[in-house]
Structure 1
Amino acid sequence: MKLTSEDLHDLAIGAAFLGTGGGGNPYVGRLMVQRCLDEGLTVDVIDPSELADDALVIPTAMMGAPTVLIEKLPSGEEAIGSLRALERYLGRKADATMPIEIGGINSTIPLVVGARLGLPIVDADGMGRAFPELQMETFGVYGISGSPMVVTDEYGDSTLLNGADNKQMEWLSRMVAIRMGGCAYIAEYSMSGADVKRTAVPNTMTLAMRIGRCLREAKANHESPFDALLRLLPQTLYNHGRIIFTGKIVDVARETRNGFSIGRARIDGLGPWRGTMEIEIQNENLIARVDGKVRAIVPDLICIMDSESAEPITTENLRYGQRVTVVAVAVPAMMRTPAALDVFGPRCFGLDEPFTPIETMT
């Protein structure tokens, strides 16, 4: 499919929702892609089934703290530089690019790369949401090496890394990104078309568009966007969603530490919702507790949305006084296997609570 401006708006909203607070500001990414469309460039999104098994796919993305992105806007050339450098190292041109995650700006960086280089963008990703660390990919869970990878900054400086494993790749590249100012742009997890079909979470870009469209049309029809969203989710791989809290943000603590945005948000209940919800953050929303009781936990999605507009709110944009609705969503089954939870389950974030699917919580 050829992406239109309306598709792009819906994608940015839906990707911000799926990103569960992380992945960078979707507004910035939308403007970057819109500029490509205004220049007459084509953004061609393809289904994974359209890939030849021997095609070379090189995902592209931003890494680092989303808070830094507010003051350090990309041009798009950074990620292109990383892809080109990795192509040179591999001795082969990419046949396509794709997102490593479907959250925020990282749903749109590959669109810019694809438009500028004339490459198709695969409708899939490696997280099914956003996660803070690069080893937290379904690609890696199911056997793909993230290395070699390239990290590039806005000055064109780049570093080629070969980690002993995906966790070592994350550790090395995080230090490079910090030296590059807290965020940088990468190409990694190069793989075949067959591997994409085996390891990626499929059709998440079109899902993000469906979510954005659902919210937009519900508001235009003067319907509850939250009700419309909860009706849509069972038709997708994310087959269960529920509202777990509504209230007012009364405190946000946030700092940039070790290349991540770390913090928490406290929300006092409004209306029928009693108590106080506290959400812990590492780039993304990790765990939501109400008066100490877990209501949702990673890898399931915890999405903070404006109660009036139903716009998803990224972690760097949380503010005191916002009236918010918190929605929890079940991730696809391939993200809940024991192998997957070993890579991005609660204990990988230092949380003591075990993973409990939101549909089983009371």
Structure 2
Amino acid sequence: MREIGLEHLAAIARGAAVLGTGGGGDPYIGRLMARAALREHGPVELVPLEEVPDEAMVLPVAGMGAPTVMVEKPPAIEEISAAVEAICGYLGRRPTHIACAEVGGVNSLIPVAAAARLGLPLIDADGMGRAFPELQMFIPAMYGVAASPMAMADDKGNRSVIDTVSNHWTERLARAATVEMGGSATTVLYAMDGATARQAMVPATLSLSAELGELVAEHRATGDAPQAVAARLGGRVLFAGKVLDVERRTVGGFARGVARLSGNGELRLSFQNEHLLAELDGTPVASTPDLICVLDTQTGDPITTEGLRYGQRVTVLAAPCDPRWRTPEGLALAGPRYFGYDLDPVPLA
């Protein structure tokens, strides 16, 4: 793809929800936002990562907060403009390119709406290759890119710019502000130049999202979409069965919980916005930073953590993460032990 038009949104939303590992926000909400922006402003130019010039000013845009809150309080396009204007006023520079902070659900499509609204090209890349719950979990952070200054805006018209001593402090202060803003906010962070973006971002993830979305649609009638997605991602199917129950709560700006699935044994999925650990009959079979994705068994449609319900027939698959997440630096940011699980990353056999 060299541009994103209305005809691409359904596939991107579906595929991004697969890569979002249950998080990243409801893709339907993001699709509505992007559709409204594209109808008003026309298609968005999609630029391959390798074509971004050294001197570019790249701004990643994302929604922050609990996905369960975003379902009831979706972000508005005005929040995006407010956050961008706030960061530009602080930095004294205008962006040349918009980027996705993460590929997943709403956060793959908020940048589409932002690019359309601002009349800027969108980079075919993101900063994670999946979705993660905390904002310091960003591959460019491993290259020394700072999360702050970070701008935030909410639905009430509040705007703020946070400038902190570390990315972890940015997460702490922004999370507290997000809770006060009603559990969700629109953010602009990790501003970087083009040379850094080419080195640090994960390439072609929006194109991959569209490809996965089309793959699901192609295999919907045959019922083997989960298997086709797993093969495309170089992963494997872990489990197929029925959702027995879901314990879900919104705590500290996150949707945290556990889902139990019954099939050939019992699979337990632990999540914090995104799925982080899968245990089959008590034995870990997949873990962060690899992708753990839940798809409807018959249709292949991805199911987010806030969309899991009793009685659903689902297939769970695991796929490899960007290899940089498996370095010591990556595991320190997003490995199992960071989230409190006393185990090393589970190898994908």
Question: Counterparts of 2:321 and 2:133 in 1: how far apart (Å)?
Answer: 16
Alignment correspondent of 2:297: 307
1:31 Cα deviation from its structure 2 partner? 1.2
Alignment correspondent of 2:32: 31
Which region of structure 1 is more displaced relative to structure 2, 151-160 or 186-195? 151-160
Question: Counterparts of 1:337 and 1:11 in 2: how far apart (Å)?
Answer: 29
Which region of structure 1 is more displaced relative to structure 2, 158-167 or 40-49? 40-49
Amino acid at match of 1:275: G
Asked if 1 retains the 8 angstrom alpha-carbon contact of 2:227 and 2:237, the reply is no
CA deviation digits over 1:295-317, x for unaligned, max 9?
10001011011111110000001
1:142 Cα deviation from its structure 2 partner? 1.8
CA deviation digits over 1:260-303, x for unaligned, max 9?
0010100011xxxx211000010000000011101100010110
Alignment correspondent of 1:255: 249
Amino acid at match of 2:299: S
Question: Counterparts of 2:271 and 2:68 in 1: how far apart (Å)?
Answer: 12
Amino acid at match of 1:305: L
Question: Counterparts of 2:325 and 2:55 in 1: how far apart (Å)?
Answer: 25
Question: Counterparts of 1:223 and 1:278 in 2: how far apart (Å)?
Answer: 24
Alignment correspondent of 2:159: 158
Alignment correspondent of 1:320: 310
Alignment correspondent of 1:44: 45
Amino acid at match of 1:45: L
Question: Counterparts of 2:336 and 2:314 in 1: how far apart (Å)?
Answer: 24
> Where do 1:114-133 residues align within 5 Å?
114-133=115-134
Asked if 2 retains the 8 angstrom alpha-carbon contact of 1:296 and 1:328, the reply is yes
> Matched residue of 2:284: which SS?
strand
Alignment correspondent of 2:338: 348
1:7 Cα deviation from its structure 2 partner? 1.6
Alignment correspondent of 1:75: 76
Pair 1:242 & 2:236 matched: yes
Q: Which has the higher strand share?
A: 2
Alignment correspondent of 2:137: 136
Alignment correspondent of 1:232: 232
Which region of structure 1 is more displaced relative to structure 2, 190-199 or 44-53? 44-53
> Matched residue of 1:262: which SS?
strand
1:163 Cα deviation from its structure 2 partner? 1.4
CA deviation digits over 1:232-274, x for unaligned, max 9?
22xxxxxx210000110011000000010010100011xxxx2
1:223 Cα deviation from its structure 2 partner? 6.4
1:325 Cα deviation from its structure 2 partner? 0.3
Alignment correspondent of 1:11: 12
Asked if 2 retains the 8 angstrom alpha-carbon contact of 1:22 and 1:131, the reply is yes
Amino acid at match of 1:228: A
Alignment correspondent of 1:267: 261
CA deviation digits over 1:149-170, x for unaligned, max 9?
0111012211110111000100
1:40 Cα deviation from its structure 2 partner? 4.6
1:56 Cα deviation from its structure 2 partner? 0.5
Question: Counterparts of 2:230 and 2:70 in 1: how far apart (Å)?
Answer: 31
Amino acid at match of 1:205: L
Asked if 2 retains the 8 angstrom alpha-carbon contact of 1:141 and 1:343, the reply is no
Aligned residues: 348
Asked if 2 retains the 8 angstrom alpha-carbon contact of 1:128 and 1:201, the reply is yes
Pair 1:289 & 2:289 matched: no
Sequence identity, in percent?
45
Question: Counterparts of 2:41 and 2:7 in 1: how far apart (Å)?
Answer: 15
Amino acid at match of 2:314: V
Amino acid at match of 2:308: L
1:4 Cα deviation from its structure 2 partner? 2.5
> Matched residue of 1:252: which SS?
strand
Alignment correspondent of 1:236: none
Amino acid at match of 1:90: L
> Matched residue of 1:128: which SS?
coil
Asked if 1 retains the 8 angstrom alpha-carbon contact of 2:129 and 2:202, the reply is yes
Compute the TM-score of the two structures, normalised by the length of structure 2: 0.97
Compute the TM-score of the two structures, normalised by the length of structure 1: 0.94
1:70 Cα deviation from its structure 2 partner? 1.3
Q: Where does the alignment leave 5 or more consecutive residues of structure 2 unmatched?
A: none
> Matched residue of 1:134: which SS?
coil
Question: Counterparts of 1:30 and 1:303 in 2: how far apart (Å)?
Answer: 20
> Matched residue of 2:97: which SS?
coil
1:356 Cα deviation from its structure 2 partner? 2.4
CA deviation digits over 1:115-149, x for unaligned, max 9?
01101111111111110000000011221001100
Question: Counterparts of 1:57 and 1:86 in 2: how far apart (Å)?
Answer: 12
Pair 1:188 & 2:189 matched: yes
Q: Where does the alignment leave 5 or more consecutive residues of structure 1 unmatched?
A: 234-239
